[in-house]
Structure 1
Amino acid sequence: MSDLEELLRTDLRDAADTLPADLDVDELLDQGHRLRRARTGRRSLAAVAAAVVVSLAGWAGLAHRTTTGVPDPASTPTMANTVSFFTFDSEPGNVQGLPYASVTATAADGTLTLTARKRKTDPPVQLASVPLNPAVATGTPISPRLSLWVIPGQVDWVNVETKDPSIASYFPRHGFISSVGVTVVVTTAEREQKSKDWVDGAIWRATDGTLHSSAGTTVDTAVLSLSDTTLTVYRDPGLKVVSFFDAKEGQGFTSMRDDHPARYVVKTQIAREMGADGWEQFAVGILSDGARDPRVTTSAKNAEVVTGTLQPGGAVVFLARNRSAAEPKGGLITKVTYIDADGQTRSYRP
């Protein structure tokens, strides 16, 4: 028996004459133990600050580093001012042409604050502080080179759509702030734009595999299987863009405006360098509503062509891919023949 227990028992017995005859001294002592443990627990919790710190990849796509604060207890208490933040860092040798060495997004007390450092040794400067609504995708123009988007929930891929499709290179980076349940997307342009309102919106893939648009429209998708990979083609009628992404690599490809007449069935043709593996060239086309049976002629004899159907819209989509050792010249698709909704044979040359 501890000295404290002995002292409690003695004090209680001395006061027994003033208490009811049926009082259980042991039960009262147990209550004292519980109160003492509760006070100790409250003091312990008051000393714990919940914070999540994640250093993401450099602007040019370096591997991310993660630093985590105090581990969550078995039963996590609700903290009034839990703060979470992401710092998007640049590393030496990867900052040329970019406006900041680092940008930090901090969520606290219903607001999201964006700060930046011109150089890593500089003190942070506040760029913006905006209301935080975890239920709605919200974009905030920051400058002619920097844009901020906040997306509800966690995403595994995001593509930022710019107002000018001929814009110079831009670098979207995103990170999940678990304390408020939103994904923060910070995008920098390689060079100054005409105004700070240079981003049109965003399209993202949630962790359940569904695609969403900041315009609130339904994104049509089709999963197309090539010989060694699977690509997802999508069309968003709200932002009026067509593109595709590789879920295995976790990356998207350059999107194109889908604002031409429906007879322009080839929507995008791009090429990318694969290092020692040479070049890879893609082309995506979508037939007009009700059209069918596309026959695709390509400039490369060994190109793969696959077809599918966009859901839920129902339009027929096709994708062509070719690999080569040398950089390709010209487009991959040279002609498309198909049957339109009226049963007439149509031909299109990009």
Structure 2
Amino acid sequence: MNELEDRLRAELQTATRDIDSDLDPEALLSVGRRVRRNRTTRRVTASVAAVLAVGVIGWFGVGSVVGRGQQPAVVVATPSPIPPSATAPIPTARASSVAPSPGSAQAELPMGASFNGEPAAFDKVEIVATSDGTTITTRFQATNDGEKVAEATVTRKLDEARAELVRLGSHGVVAVVPGEVKGQSLYGPDTSQGGSAALDPLGATALVFLTEHAVGSKDPELVWEDGNGVLQSTVGVVASASVDLGGEEVTVFRSEALDSQGVWGDWSTAVKGAKPSDMLQGSIARSRGPGQAKWRLTQLGMLEPGSTDVAVTLSSADGDWAQAALPDGWIVVVAVLNSDDDSVDPVTSLAYTDAKGVRHTYPAK
């Protein structure tokens, strides 16, 4: 034990004190010590950051996530209640029609949570929307303990797939998107909480996000899964595909505009600087519920368009892997292993042939 571990232990206990989570500071430090012994100090920092992020956004129910090995830094997503990994849903309000006009709807969205034990900027958002059938105007009012703290108005055409974020005070952003929303996530430098209100009579969904710190000069980016399972964003459609992995359907994605790739609603890494060999540089371990193997370990790799003859060697017969071609041509390879031992990665080798006919094998023989 040393001074650094004592400080980390204290900070972890403080960060998770008010959160209903199975995070164990001792287990995390044990992982950190093992990773440090494997000469991956840079990854320990990312691991601790990832778990602290999960502690902060535990309200979203993504469970405990630990990054291992030397993968690029992991960003823990702020998903909707849709992913099977969710253990506690985001508040999701169903709109009620305001009689007698079918062109109006209202909803109340609770946002009661905290960041690192500190109260959030507001605890409830009231939403009132009206529509003439082509244009919808939505008013958001944020309150804290019954006191109004911020308000915003969004006006948009219903036949446009795009979405724009509008500030709700200094610590919030809102948007209105057409149709059903199965999941949403905010991509930016800050930790966030979010919720959705389905404005059923009007054919739209209102989205609200609350950030830990004041939103900076540059707006974050919004990604949402529409009713058809397509990932939309404030920077355009996100290339994605669904695969069956270990009996669970997951959506994998890649976006250069967002500089993000990974498993939707779970975790992501940066696109910039990513290499196919990254897949073998460690895995992401996500804790699972009682009565199941303790960890779900995932590895993901991106292969350039035109890659063929993909071959993956698994470390265990209990593991599974799949590949999918994204609409932009990139090939996603993803593997999973459910295990009580988080020291065993799902994949031991990866091989493929690139568009020029050159065969690549990792680890190199």
Normalised-by-shorter TM-score class? 0.5 to 0.7
Query: Is residue 339 from structure 1 mapped to residue 359 from structure 2 by the alignment?
Result: no
| One-letter amino acid matched to 2:285 | A
Residue 296 of structure 2: aligned partner: 280
2:311 pairs, out of 288, 295, 319, with: 295
Residue 263 of structure 2: aligned partner: 244
- Judged with a 3 Å threshold, the aligned counterparts in structure 2 of structure 1 residues 123 and 275 are, in CA distance, closer, same or farther, namely same
Partners of 2:108 and 2:124 within 8 A in 1: yes
Partners of 1:137 and 1:149 within 8 A in 2: yes
| One-letter amino acid matched to 2:151 | L
Partners of 2:92 and 2:195 within 8 A in 1: no
Looking at structure 2, the residues matched to 67 and 316 of structure 1 have their Cα atoms a distance apart, in angstroms, of 40
Residue 323 of structure 1 and its aligned partner are, at CA, apart by 1.5
Partners of 1:223 and 1:308 within 8 A in 2: no
2:331 pairs, out of 316, 325, 335, with: 316
Q: Which runs of 4+ in 1 moved over 6 A?
A: 92-95
- Which runs of 5 or more residues in structure 2 are unaligned? 1-79, 82-87
- Judged with a 3 Å threshold, the aligned counterparts in structure 2 of structure 1 residues 348 and 213 are, in CA distance, closer, same or farther, namely farther
| One-letter amino acid matched to 1:282 | T
- Judged with a 3 Å threshold, the aligned counterparts in structure 2 of structure 1 residues 175 and 230 are, in CA distance, closer, same or farther, namely same
| One-letter amino acid matched to 1:131 | T
Query: Is residue 106 from structure 1 mapped to residue 128 from structure 2 by the alignment?
Result: yes
Residue 41 of structure 1: aligned partner: none
Residue 25 of structure 2: aligned partner: none
- Judged with a 3 Å threshold, the aligned counterparts in structure 2 of structure 1 residues 285 and 305 are, in CA distance, closer, same or farther, namely farther
Query: Is residue 133 from structure 1 mapped to residue 157 from structure 2 by the alignment?
Result: yes
| One-letter amino acid matched to 1:130 | V
Looking at structure 1, the residues matched to 113 and 331 of structure 2 have their Cα atoms a distance apart, in angstroms, of 47
Deviations 1:31-60 (A, max 9, x none): xxxxxxxxxxxxxxxxxxxxxxxxx99xx6
1:23-34 equivalences under 5 Å are none
Residue 186 of structure 2: aligned partner: 160
Looking at structure 2, the residues matched to 319 and 270 of structure 1 have their Cα atoms a distance apart, in angstroms, of 11
Give RMSD over aligned pairs: 3.6
Looking at structure 1, the residues matched to 277 and 338 of structure 2 have their Cα atoms a distance apart, in angstroms, of 25
Deviations 1:231-277 (A, max 9, x none): 221223443322324xxxxxx21233322255565399432211323
Residue 89 of structure 1 and its aligned partner are, at CA, apart by 0.9
1:38-57 equivalences under 5 Å are none
Instruction: State TM-score, norm by structure 2.
Output: 0.61
Q: Report how many residues are paired.
A: 269
SS at match of 2:157: coil
SS at match of 1:99: coil
SS at match of 1:138: coil
- Structure number with the bigger relative contact order (C-alpha 8 A, sep ≥ 6) is 2
Looking at structure 1, the residues matched to 302 and 113 of structure 2 have their Cα atoms a distance apart, in angstroms, of 43
| One-letter amino acid matched to 2:241 | A
Residue 334 of structure 1 and its aligned partner are, at CA, apart by 5.8
1:61 pairs, out of 85, 89, 92, with: 89
- Which runs of 5 or more residues in structure 1 are unaligned? 1-55, 246-251
Query: Is residue 192 from structure 1 mapped to residue 213 from structure 2 by the alignment?
Result: yes
